[in-house]
Structure formats: structure tokens, C-alpha cells
Amino acid sequence: LRAALERDGIDAVDDPVSAVYNGPWTLPFLRRNEVLIRVAPPQPAAAND
């Protein structure tokens, strides 16, 4: 995920955070987990007038 952000020129602001939606007793193939990374807001494009 970090490599994809760097490749696309997106700056990560914080370290990754694990978002776990199911309890530990949920079967592994039914679990839903995500990794969240806060990114910097996009910079406005410069006007070429």
C-alpha cells in the first residue's frame, strides 16, 4: 500500500492503522479487516495563465 501511494505521488501523513471489524472468534475467511493510512490533502493545480 505504501509503495502504491509513493508511486502515485501521494504523501502519507501518519503510520498505518489496523481497522478490525470482527471479533477474534470469527472464522478467518469471514473476517473483514482494513489498513488505514491518513494522506495529505491534494495540492491545487497551478494556473498557467
In a domain, 43, yes or no: no
Is the pLDDT score of 48 beyond 70?
Answer: no
In a domain, 41, yes or no: no
pTM: 0.63
Range of the domain at 9: 2-36
Helix segments in the chain, DSSP class H = 2-7
In a domain, 42, yes or no: no
pLDDT tens-place string over residues 16-47: 999 988 988 999 899 998 999 999 988 877 76
Is the pLDDT score of 49 beyond 60?
Answer: no
Is the pLDDT score of 11 beyond 70?
Answer: yes
Angle of CA points 40, 32, 1, to nearest 5°: 35
In a domain, 7, yes or no: yes
In a domain, 46, yes or no: no
In a domain, 44, yes or no: no
In a domain, 13, yes or no: yes
Q: Give the number of domains in the chain.
A: 1
